Amino acid sequence: MSADENQPPRPELVLPGISASQGIAYGPIFVYLQSDLEVPEYQVEKPKWSAEVTRFEQALLATRQQVQKIMAEVEKNLGEEEARIFDAHLLVLEDQALISETIRDFEKTRLNIESCFDRVARRYISAFEEIDDEYLRERGGDIRDVAQRVLGNLLGGHAGQRLTKLAEKRIVVANDISPSDAAGLDRSSALGVVTDSGSKTSHAVIVARSMKIPAVVGLRDLTAKVQATDTLLIDGYEGVVILNPTESTLFRYGQIQRQKRSHEQKLLDANRLPAVTLDGVELPLRANIEKVDESALVKDYHAAGVGLFRTEFLYLAATSMPTEEEQYDSYRRLAEALAPAPVTIRTLDLGGDKPIASQAHLFPKENNPFLGYRAIRFCLDHPDIFKAQLRAVLRASAHGDVRLMYPMISGHEEMRRANAVLAECKAELKAEGKAFDPKLRVGSMIEIPSAAMGADMLARECDFFSIGTNDLIQYLLAIDRVNDRIAHLYEPTHPAVLRTLRHIVVEAHRARIKVSVCGEMAGDPVFVALLFGLGVDELSMTPPLLPAAKYVIRNMKLTDARKLAQQALAMDSAKAIQALCAEFAEERLKA
């Protein structure tokens, strides 16, 4: 879509979304709809040759139906002429040369059909791009768009997108971004991120928050509304975006930004001081990180070590599974950089909204990925991958206060199975004469209601619990954490959530083990007092959120936090509990 330069400026448009990462950003936009997908390459065995061609035909058909649907929508919303743009896309799908060349390539190489199609399509695209004729060059663009769609269909849920490095400072406006896209964002050029889909706890959003990139998500059809020449303002505090803001809006936001900055500076100044309540209790605040080089952030924000290292990002960024040695090197560097502070390494949590494009063949397409082949379930099914990681963590434990935890544990029996693999790794390392901490502390994440309900049994197998509220809430309330349509139903203060948290804490303390919370709820200053009041021992959050949490702690009494939790547990309205907690936090943040 392009704007006519002679047309009058487009009017200001205020659009509500979901606040995902705080901050205000303003600038020209970069619309990101599709980019090169990572296409795996593997040999197809003889019995599957004809099925592979059928798969290709089905993907072409599915793409055709998708394009027709988009055409109908565009025609309805923008008019018939705009919809005609997609005629060219349909023509590409019927292009016999492209189709038969792909099949010929497959017959020659017997490599998976997406890799054949990708090769042939790329050849076509570059041939068109070199032609010195604008119309034909554009046709290269059409092939590219359609090829990405076909590949997306062939790869199913594993189509990992890539955000290219932006040439200049822009607000990224995307239909969706994957966690690895977000991890690849360049803070100096990506001023902010706005997406049609997503929610507060989608992994891409968690990454944006850790990079301090303002973000608003769940804007439904924003990518269809924008034009390339639009400017956009993101208000990540309120969860609002303003398309083509007027001078007076920009002035108003300039003032808001100055106020916010001075408030943030006040929090940062106090952040050097210990996290001790007014009644003298020290409450540990640790960091959630995704990359080894974030150890610097952990120190900058004065976190008491790492409460959650999401190791899957090591895998998502790589083109093949990282080896034991590579992982050992990463974990050891992290442990050494932060010693004597603890580093809690979580084993691989792939699957769910984190499929791994380079290993697509290991993750079959599923109807319910969040209820499927994910995290510890995948690891227990792939002992070679799991053991490489466990051995690397064990070896790193010789170099600092390393702790280990497993994601998505459903109960004590699964915990025992994971620990049995760990025991095997210990025995092997001992026999090989490789050093590790024999007393390595091992914990379970509590993310599944069955683990919460069976906390008494599970606690006997664990040295600590770490509650992953992002998943625990999604499974407890049956709210898909990345679905923007139901995001308003995702309520951390739902009475059932509070009772579950309390139950976990009581059972853990009965077994004399500690409980941390490392989901996004822990990093929201509104919930800091509630969580500590419920008896949680420590919180772990993305480093930029630490100053606000610490400020609340330094200006509250633990006895008041406990009263707040008691009051909240006696209430039956999620909204009223939220308001009560917000008021408590607001008063402390004003101090």
- CA-based nearest residue to 584, from 518, 536, 527, 502: 527
CB 293 to Mg ion: min, Å: 23
Residue 297 vs 467, nearer CB to ligand PEP: 467
Cα 173 from Cα 216, distance rounded (Å)? 10
CB of 579 to ligand PEP, least distance (A): 23
Site for Mg ion in 461-500 (CB under 5 A): 468, 471
Return the number of the residue (154 or 518) whose C-beta is nearest ligand PEP.
Answer: 518
**What number of chain residues touch Mg ion (CB under 5 A)?**
3
What backbone torsions phi and psi does residue 278 show, to the nearest 5 degrees?
-65, -25
Answer positive or negative: Cα dihedral of 284, 290, 295, 297: negative
CB-side neighbour CA atoms (13 Å) of 412 = 11
Distances (CA, A) of 344 to 300, 308, 335, 467: 18, 5, 9, 13
Closest distance between Mg ion and the C-beta of residue 370, in Å? 10
Least distance from Mg ion to the Cβ atom of residue 428, Å: 29
Does a cis peptide bond (omega within 30 degrees of 0) precede residue 340?
Answer: yes
Q: How far is the CB of 276 from ligand PEP (least distance, A)?
A: 26
Where would I find the H helices in 339-478? 375-381, 383-396, 412-432, 449-453, 455-459, 469-477
Q: How far is the CB of 203 from ligand PEP (least distance, A)?
A: 6
Please pick, among 116, 379, 462, 518, the residue that the annotation labels catalytic. 518
**How far is it, in rounded angstroms, from Cα 406 to Cα 428?**
20
Scanning the structure block, which residue is given the tokens 């604008």? 134
Sign of CA dihedral 103, 108, 114, 119: negative
φ and ψ at 547, to 5 degrees? Answer: -55, -40
> Of 512, 556, 514, whose CA–CA distance to 535 is shortest?
514
Amino acid, res. 278: L
Choice between 114 and 312, CB closer to ligand PEP: 312
Select 105 or 471, whichever has its Cβ closest to Mg ion: 471
User: Which CB sits closer to Mg ion, 235 or 471?
Assistant: 471
Which of 118, 349 has the CB closer to ligand PEP? Answer: 349
In terms of phi and psi (left: phi > 0; alpha: psi -120 to 50; beta: otherwise), the region of 302 is left
Q: Residue 172 is encoded by which pair of tokens?
A: 């990224």
488 catalytic, yes or no? Answer: no
Q: What's the min distance (Å) between Cβ of 470 and Mg ion?
A: 5
- Give residues 428-467 in contact with Mg ion (rule: CB under 5 A): 447
Nearer to ligand PEP, 344 or 358 (CB): 344
243-302: contacts with Mg ion (CB under 5 A)? none
Report, in Å, the least distance between residue 537 CB and ligand PEP: 16
Decide which of ligand PEP, Mg ion, none touches 236; Cβ closer than 5 to 8 Å per partner kind.
none
Q: Residue 8: which residues within 8 A CB-CB, separation 6 or more?
A: none
Q: How many Å apart are CA 51 and CA 285, to the nearest integer?
A: 53
Cβ contact 279:556 at 8 Å:
no
For residue 291, the minimal CB distance to ligand PEP (Å) is 14
Nearer to ligand PEP, 34 or 347 (CB): 347
Q: Find the catalytic residue in 203, 302, 399, 494.
A: 203
- Among ligand PEP, Mg ion, none, the one that 412 touches (CB under a kind-dependent 5 to 8 A) is none
Choose among Mg ion, ligand PEP, none what residue 469 binds, the Cβ cut-off being 5 to 8 Å by kind: ligand PEP
Measured CA angle at 181 (ends 24, 473), to 5 deg: 75
Residue pointed to by tokens 């992290």:
334
Binding site for ligand PEP (CB under 6 A): 308, 310, 349, 447, 468-471, 518-519
Distance (Å, whole) CA 230 – CA 227: 5
State the binding partner of 235 from Mg ion, ligand PEP, none, CB within 5 to 8 A by kind.
none
Q: What is the DSSP letter of 456?
A: H
Q: Quick one: what does residue 518 bind among ligand PEP, Mg ion, none, with the CB cut-off 5 to 8 Å set by partner type?
A: ligand PEP
**E strands in 454-501:** 464-467
SS3 444: strand
What is the SS3 assignment for 231?
strand
Q: Closer to Mg ion by CB, 118 or 471: give it.
A: 471
Binding partner at 198 among ligand PEP, Mg ion, none, C-beta below 5 to 8 Å by kind = none
Q: How far is the CB of 462 from Mg ion (least distance, A)?
A: 17
CA distance 519 to 8: 47
Q: Which one of Mg ion, ligand PEP, none is in contact with 310 (Cβ closer than 5 to 8 A by kind)?
A: ligand PEP
203 counts as catalytic: yes
Q: Please name the amino acid found at residue 436.
A: F
Under 8 Å between Cβ of 35 and 165: no
Strands of 190-195's sheet, edge to edge?
13-16, 240-243, 231-235, 24-32, 170-174, 190-195, 215-217, 18-21
Q: Please state, in angstroms and rounded to a whole number, the distance separating the CA atoms of residues 102 and 114.
A: 9
Is residue 183 within 8 A of residue 43, CB to CB? The reply is: no
Instruction: Copy the structure tokens of residue 135.
Output: 């119309």
Provide the minimum distance between the beta carbon of 91 and Mg ion in the complex, in angstroms, as a whole number: 44
465 touches 516 (CB < 8 A): yes
Residue 179's binding partner out of ligand PEP, Mg ion, none, with CB under 5 to 8 Å set by partner kind: none
Residues that bind Mg ion (CB under 5 A): 447, 468, 471
Q: Catalytic residue numbers? A: 203, 518
